[in-house]
Amino acid sequence: MTAITLAKGVTMGLRAAMEADPKVIIMGEDVGKLGGVFRVTDGLQKDFGEDRVIDTPLSESGILGTAVGLCMRGYRPVCEIQFDGFVYPAYDQIVSQVAKLHFRSQGRLTMPIVIRIPFGGGIGAVEHHSESPEAYFAHTAGLKVVACSNPVDAYWMIQQAIAADDPIVFFEPKRRYWEKAELDEQTVPDPLFSSRVVREGSDVTVLAYGPMVKTAVQAAAAAAEDGQSIEVIDLRTLSPLDMVPVHESAKKTGRVVVVHEAPVTLGLGSEIAARVTEECFYSLEAPVLRVGGFDTPYPPSRIEEDYLPDLDRVLDAVDRSLAY
């Protein structure tokens, strides 16, 4: 058992995946000598060589477009997008090619591509470095989308994502890169596409993923002091959604709050609210409430703490839910 950061969890997972399968390659800007701007690929080029850890030209569409061709030669590219705001130049290749080729070829072509995206705000960065674009991908048939929230999941989920034969957008909560946890490499991980109850409770269910899981857990702890019992679920998988534990919890508590950094309108919260309401209509004491970023572009970092959902805004929603 060793304590590792979330960033280190991804690094170790990448290393394990590359050792396990020689077809696994890493592509991205500055992933080689520099080890990535977050050092997540640190040391990998040194150990696996320039053929497997590729410093690419500065073109995201090129990264995803060539990854498609590499898949056709049996490779399993792990593509790093340096920051969330820079995935859009590759959007066409992702949505029209990566996501559709399995379908278009009736399964003759598989696209085992992992697109790693450090996402979300809270690190005081300049514009385009704090986006939460997950809904753009979760709305796209043919892609799968997951988000890790802690070092241990980071370690296991990245390996599971690389081993999977479908294209997966892998979101890493950059503001949590330096959070630590104990990793036991012997334990058997949960399946990749499963959500997990991280704190049990009976009054209100709070759903979160990525960076907001910690916030939700902190909110639950604070609420406990006021005698409110909050159940927190880490969604982990955003497409497909694993609604089973969510519905169970919703039927138990009758009150659901969804939290994410992305703007509320058409964020993941909208889909979850629609599904929970349909599935648990007669069990709900209150409408599913959504806590998220406002429907504005990400603001200058000096006020990002106002923009981002925090403990208080989660508790505020919990209170509003309980008020029904």
Ligand X SMILES: Cc1ncc(C[n+]2csc(CCOP(=O)(O)OP(=O)(O)O)c2C)c(N)n1
- Amino acid symbol at 117: I
Residues contacting residue 275 through CB under 8 Å, at least 6 positions apart: 241, 243, 246
Catalytic residue among 129, 139, 247, 260: 129
Residue 151-190 contact track with another protein, rule CB under 8 A, x = bound: -------------xxx------------------------
Whether 286 and 254 have beta carbons less than 8 Å apart is answered as yes
Verify binding: residue 69, another protein, rule CB under 8 A: yes
- Amino acid symbol at 269: G
Strand runs labelled E in the chain:
2-5, 24-28, 53-55, 76-80, 114-119, 144-147, 168-173, 180-183, 196-199, 204-208, 230-234, 237-239, 256-263, 289-293
Residue 18-47 contact track with ligand X, rule CB under 6 A, x = bound: -----------x------------------
Site for ligand X in 69-108 (CB under 6 A): 82, 86, 89
Question: What is the token pair recorded at 56?
Answer: 């690419």
Site for a copy of itself in 130-159 (CB under 8 A): 135-136, 138-139, 141-142
d(CA 158, CA 202) in angstroms, rounded, equals: 32
Verify binding: residue 65, ligand X, rule CB under 6 A: no
Q: Which of 11, 13, 17, 32 binds another protein (CB under 8 A)?
A: 32
d(CA 248, CA 257) in angstroms, rounded, equals: 14
Site for another protein in 264-283 (CB under 8 A): 265
d(CA 6, CA 22) in angstroms, rounded, equals: 24
Active site includes 139?
Answer: no
Active site residues: 129
Chain residues binding a copy of itself by CB under 8 A are: 61, 85, 88-89, 91-92, 95-96, 99-100, 103-104, 127-128, 135-136, 138-139, 141-142, 239, 262-263, 265-271, 273-274, 277-278, 281, 286-290, 294-297, 324
- Residues of this chain that interact with ligand X (CB under 6 A) are 29, 58, 60, 82, 86, 89
